[in-house]
Amino acid sequence: MNLVGQNIYKLETPELIIDLDVVDANFNTVSNAYKDSHLKMRTHTKNLKSPFLARQQVNAGGSNGGVCTAKVSEAEIMVESGFDNILIANQVVSNDKIERLCSLAKIADMKVGIDNVDNLQNLSKFAYKHNVILGVLVEINTSMFRCGVRSSKDAVELAKLANKLPNIEFKGVMSHQSISGSPTEQERWEIGKSYIDILLDAKKTIEEAGIDIKIVSTGETFTFDIVLEYPEITEVQGGTYALMDVNYPYMPFDIAARVMSSVIDINISLDLITLDSGSKCIAAPNFAKPILEGQDAELIDMRLDYSVYKVSDVNKYELGQKLFLLTTHQDGLINRWDKFVGYRKDEVQGVWDILGRGCHH
Ligand X SMILES: Cc1ncc(COP(=O)(O)O)c(C=O)c1O
3-class SS of residue 307: strand
DSSP secondary structure letters along 47-64: HH--HHHHHHHHHHSSEE
Residue number, 62 or 239, with CB nearest to ligand X: 239
Position 259, amino acid: V
Residue number, 141 or 277, with CB nearest to ligand X: 141
Residue number, 241 or 317, with CB nearest to ligand X: 241
CA distance 114 to 123: 9
Residue number, 26 or 240, with CB nearest to ligand X: 240
Least spacing, CB of residue 131 vs ligand X, in Å: 29
With CA atoms as reference, report the closest residue to 218 among 331, 111, 141: 141
Least spacing, CB of residue 133 vs ligand X, in Å: 22
Least spacing, CB of residue 91 vs ligand X, in Å: 10
Number of separate helices (H) and strands (E) present in the chain = 9, 17
Least spacing, CB of residue 90 vs ligand X, in Å: 6
Position 192, amino acid: G
With CA atoms as reference, report the closest residue to 211 among 175, 173, 166: 173
Contacts of 79 (CB under 8 A, 6+ apart): 86, 104, 107, 108
Residue number, 239 or 278, with CB nearest to ligand X: 239
Least spacing, CB of residue 280 vs ligand X, in Å: 23
Residue number, 172 or 239, with CB nearest to ligand X: 239
Least spacing, CB of residue 217 vs ligand X, in Å: 8
Residues of this chain that interact with ligand X (CB under 6 A) are 44, 47, 68, 89, 176, 220-221, 237-241
Residue number, 106 or 361, with CB nearest to ligand X: 361
Contacts of 326 (CB under 8 A, 6+ apart): 245, 246, 255, 258, 290, 291, 292, 293
Contacts of 155 (CB under 8 A, 6+ apart): 138, 140, 149, 173, 202, 205, 206
CA distance 89 to 139: 8
